[in-house]
Amino acid sequence: MRRPIRSALIRSAHPARLRAAACLAAASLLLFPCVRAQAVEPQVLEEQARRIDVIQKMAPSVVAIFAKDGNGGGSGVVVSPDGYVVTNFHVVMGQGSFLKCGLNDGKLYDSVLVGVDPTGDVAVIKLVGRSDFPAATIGDSETVRVGDGAYAVGNPFLLAADFQPTVTYGMVSGIHRYQFPSETFLEYTDCIQVDTSINPGNSGGPLFNEKAELIGINGRISVEKRGRKNVGAGYAISINQVMNFLDHLKSGRIVDHATLGAVVATNNDGTVTVTNILENSEAYRRGLQVGDELVSFAGRPIHTANEFKNVLGIYPDGWKLPLTYRRRDKEERILVRLRRLHRASELELAGLEEKKPREKPEPEKPPADPKKQHNRDGDPNPDPKKRSGGQPPQFPDEVTRLFEERDGYANFYFNRVAQDRLLEVLQGWGPYSDSKGAWQLTGQLDPRTPVQIKLGDEAIAMRIGDKTIGQPLNQDLTDLPAGSGGWLPAMHSLRQILTRQGEAFSDLYYVGSEPLDGTGPRVDVLEALRGESTCRWYFDQKSKLCVGMDYRRQEDVDECEMRFAELREFGPLRFPSVIEVRHAGQPVGAFQVDSLQVSGAPKTAAK
C-alpha cells in the first residue's frame, strides 16, 4: 500500500531501509496488481472505536479472584455499588470465608463470602473498602439470540496479575442449553453457549453483550481429551437466573433450586405431558394430574421436557409461578408454589464440604513463572500470600466482623442484618412489644357479616356472624374457620411477631425475594417456624411496607393467605385497615378492621 510505504520512506534516513522499502513496494505491485492505496473505511474505524468503548465500560466491574494460598482463583463481576460480586460456586468452594480480589484500578480488595448455590454453581461475595464500586449494567438474557456478539472478560490462567482483565470476543452459538447433573449437584439450566474463548480462570467472570450489558456468568467449557482448554464451546449461566437468586444468595444461606413435584416427558406428537406427580405437591392440589399436557410455565411456552427443565431450573424453591396445562382440549391456569429440590442436610453438606464434587473444575493455576508477571504496583506476583511476606493473608476487623458461622448458612451475618431491617418495618406499626396483653379486633367481613377476634396467651377465638369457634394454644392449631387454611391461627402468628418478634418462633430467617403471588411486585420474604407451622411475611421492596403474610399449619397443606391494605391508626398503634383472606387460591373474604383493643396499650380502640 503506497501511503504507508511512503510514510516509512520519509521517516527512514538509512539507505538500506530505503532500498528495502522500495523493493517491498515493487513486490507488492507485482504480486498484487489489483491492490490500490486507499484509506481505511470509516465504518471500520468506527466499529473499532465502538468496540474499544464497550470494553472500557465493561472492564471496571470485572473482578480477579485469588485463593488465600495463591494457588488458585477465578473471576467475578460487581453487580452493585456496595460491592456485591457474583462468581461461580466452584471458584470459592474450599477457599474459606475471606478472599483477596483485584479490580482494574490496580488495587487488591478484601472480600467476604456471602451465600452459595451449589446446584446452580453460583456464589456471592462482598468487597470491602469503598461504597462506590463500579457495577456492571444488568442485561436481559431472555433477549439474547444466536449470532449476537459476546465478550468474555476475566482472569484466564490467572494472567491478570495487574488486575487488568483479559477480553475475548465471539458470538452466541446457542441459547436455552441444558446440561444435566451427573452424580453431583451441579446442574446448568437455560445457559448461553458461546464460541467466545473461555478458559480456566474465566470461571465466574462476566459475559457481556454488544451494549456492555451483563448477560451471563461464565462457568463451563467443553474440553478436549488432552487438557482443559477452550475448544470453541463455552457455557454461561443466564443473568436472569442469577438475578432470580441474587437476594436469596445475599441472605447468607446455602440456597436450593426447585421442583414442581411432577415428572414430564416429550411424546412422539411433540406434546409434553405429566407422567408422574406427587399427590402431596401443591401442583396436584391445584388440579394437575398424570396425562395433562403442559402448555406454558412461568410465562414461557413448553415444547419439550428439556425446555421445562430449563425454565424450572432458573427459579429458587418457594417461588409461586403460573402454570398452564391442557386436559381434553381445555386449558387451565394455576399458580403453584415450588418445592425444594434437595433435603436440607444434603444441601448443607454440598455447600460446606471442603472436598470438590466430581465435576467441580480444579482450581485455576497461576502462570508457570509468576515472577515474570508484574502488577501495576510493581509487585512481581499477585499472590496475596507472597504480598504479606510469605504468611497467609491477614484480614482487618472491618472484614472479619462481616462473618458469622451458623449451621445451614454460608454466612449468617448477612441474614441477621436483613432480619433486623425487615423487623424494623414491623416495629413501625407501633409499640406492640410494650403491650403484651390480649387482643380484641372487631369488624366486618364483606361487609355484612360481623366478625370479632380474640387473641390471648392461652387461647384464641373468633365469632363470625352468630357462630363462635376457638381452641387452646397448647394444642396443634387447626383450620379455623374451616376452609380458610387457618385464618385464626394466622392472626395469632401476626400478634406474636408484633409483640415478641423472633422470640416467638423456633427459627426466623430472611429467605430472599420473589414476585408477590407469582406475578406481583418483588417482595422480601421473612420466614418463621414454630412446631409444624410456617409463616412467611412479605415486604414490598419499593414501598418498604409489609403487604401480607402466608400461614401454613403443616407441610404440604394449602396456606391461609392474608394481604394487607394501608395501615390505620388505632391510638398509638397502627394496623391494616383491611385484611384480604384467601385459601387455595380462592377468596375467603375481606376483613374490614373497625376496632383494635390491646390490653396494656391505652386508647387503642378506634371506630
The CA-CA-CA angle for residues 368, 194, 86, to 5°, reads 70
Whether cis (ω within 30° of 0) applies to the bond prior to 481 is yes
- Is the distance from CB of 240 to CB of 198 less than 8 angstroms? no
Phi-psi region of 318 (alpha: psi -120 to 50; beta: other; left: phi over 0): left
CATH classification of the domain holding 196 = 2.40.10.120
The segment with the largest mean pLDDT, out of 16-20, 27-31, 344-348, 359-363, is: 344-348
Beta bridge partners of 76: 63
188 with 129, same domain? Answer: yes
pLDDT value at residue 604: 54
- Strands (DSSP E) along 447-545, which ranges? 449-455, 459-464, 467-472, 507-515, 522-530, 533-540
Contacts 24+ apart (CB under 8 A), 455-464: 455/491, 455/492, 455/495, 460/488, 460/489, 460/491, 460/492, 461/488, 462/487, 462/488
CA distance 233 to 219: 11
Active site residue 121: yes
Domains in the chain, number: 4
Q: Which of 117, 121, 256, 550 is catalytic?
A: 121
pTM of the model: 0.85
Query: Is 90 designated active site?
Result: yes
Distance (Å, whole) CA 220 – CA 225: 15
For residues 384 and 397, state if they share a domain: yes
pLDDT, position 199: 87
Q: Checking DSSP bridges between strand 272-277 and strand 258-259, what pairing results, if any?
A: unpaired
The rounded distance, in Å, linking the Cα atoms of 340 and 343 is 8
Cell numbers describing residue 390? 510469605
Between CA 132 and CA 435 the distance in angstroms is 43
Same domain, 580 and 465: yes
**At 150, is the pLDDT very low, low, confident or very high (cuts 50, 70, 90)?**
very high
Residue 204 lies in a domain: yes
- Measured CA to CA, the distance from residue 166 to residue 114 in angstroms comes to 26
What is the per-residue pLDDT for 600? Answer: 73
Q: Do 398 and 278 fall within a single domain?
A: no
Mean pLDDT across the stretch 288-316?
Answer: 95
| Segment 3-7 mean pLDDT | 38
> For 154-158, 173-177, 269-273, which range has the lowest pLDDT when averaged over its residues?
154-158
Residue 590 belongs to domain spanning: 415-598
The helix/strand/coil state of 557 is coil
- Asked if residue 292 and residue 169 are part of one domain, the reply reads no
Instruction: Tell me if residue 78 falls in helix, strand or coil.
Output: strand
Residue 254 has pLDDT above 60, yes or no: yes
Distance CA 551, CA 535 (A): 5
* Pair 447, 589 in one domain: yes
Amino acid at 555: E
119 and 237 share one domain: yes
Q: Is residue 123 part of a domain?
A: yes
| Per-residue pLDDT reduced to its tens digit, 350-407 | 655 533 333 333 444 444 443 333 333 333 344 444 444 445 567 888 999 999 999 9
Supply the DSSP string of 197-234, one letter for each residue: ---TT-TT-EEE-TTSEEEEEEEEE--BTTBS---S-E
Q: Which of 203, 513, 533, 577 is catalytic?
A: 203
User: Would you call 241 exposed, middle or buried from its count of C-beta atoms within 10 A (0-12, 13-18, 19+)?
Assistant: buried
Residues 334 and 384 placed together within one structural domain of the fold:
no
Residue 558 lies in a domain: yes
Amino acid at 28: S
Q: Catalytic: 203?
A: yes
In a domain, 408, yes or no: no
C-alpha span between 348 and 524 (Å, rounded): 23
Look-up of cell digits 405431558: 273
Q: Are residues 98 and 178 in the same domain?
A: yes
Q: Verify that 229 and 100 share a domain, yes or no.
A: yes
Judged on CB neighbours under 10 Å (0-12, 13-18, 19+), 495 is buried
**Strand pairing category for 149-154 and 206-208:** antiparallel
pLDDT, position 310: 93
| CATH number of the domain encompassing residue 318 | 2.30.42.10
If one counts every other C-beta atom within 10 angstroms of the C-beta of residue 411, the result is: 26
- Report which of residues 604 and 110 the model is more confident about: 110
Query: How far is Cα 480 from Cα 426, in angstroms, rounded to an integer?
Result: 25
Over range 312-319, report the average pLDDT.
95
Q: What is the pLDDT of residues 233-243, one digit of tens each?
A: 889 999 999 99
- The one-character DSSP state at 8 is H
On whether the CB atoms of residues 109 and 96 are closer than 8 A, the answer is no
The cell numbers describing 363, all together, are 482450581
CATH number, domain of 441, equals 2.50.20
- Give, rounded to a whole angstrom, the gap between the first and last alpha carbons of the chain: 92
Angstrom distance (rounded) from CA 150 to CA 54: 11
Please indicate whether residue 202 or residue 182 has the higher confidence score (pLDDT). Answer: 202
Domain co-membership, 458 together with 549: yes
Model confidence at 107: pLDDT above 90: yes
Res 173 pLDDT > 90 = yes
Q: Say whether pLDDT at 436 is over 90.
A: no
Backbone angles phi, psi at 450, to 5 degrees: -70, 145
In a domain, residue 38? The reply is no
3-state secondary structure of 319: coil
Q: Determine the pLDDT at residue 24.
A: 47
* Residue tagged active-site, from 61, 75, 90, 517: 90
Give tens-digit pLDDT for 466-496.
999 999 999 888 999 999 999 999 999 999 9
> Tell me: the pLDDT tens digits for 496-540?
999 999 999 999 999 999 999 999 999 999 999 999 999 999 999
DSSP state of 236: E
**Contact 439/600 with Cβ under 8 angstroms?**
no
Instruction: Report the alpha-carbon distance of residue 555 to residue 278 in Å, rounded.
Output: 14
What is the rounded CA–CA span in Å between residue 493 and residue 71?
51
Please enumerate in sequence order all residues whose Cβ is within 8 A of that of 290, keeping only pairs 6 or more positions apart, or say none. 274, 275, 276, 277
Q: Where are the alpha helices (DSSP H) in 291-374?
A: 305-312, 344-352
Please report where in the chains the cell 399436557 appears, as a residue: 293
Least confident of 16-25, 69-78, 211-220, 328-337: 16-25
Q: Quick one: 603 exposed, middle or buried, by C-beta within 10 A (0-12, 13-18, 19+)?
A: exposed
pLDDT tens digits for range 61-78: 999 998 776 667 899 999
Compute CA distances 442 → 60, 459, 480, 489, whole Å: 58, 17, 17, 16
Q: Which residue has the higher pLDDT, 94 or 552?
A: 552
Could you tell me if residue 330 is inside a domain? yes
Which of the listed residues 373, 402, 431 is the one where a domain comes to its end? 402
Q: Which candidate, 519, 493, 498, places its Cα nearest to that of 424?
A: 498
Q: What is the mean pLDDT of the chain?
A: 86
Task: Please check whether residues 250 and 262 belong to one and the same domain.
Answer: no
Q: Residue 437's pLDDT is what?
A: 86
Residue 200 sits at φ, ψ, to 5 deg, of -50, 130
Cell of 82: 456496595
Q: What is the mean pLDDT of residues 428-447?
A: 91
CB distance 157 to 151 below 8 Å = no
In a domain, 192, yes or no: yes
| Residue 528 maps to a domain | yes
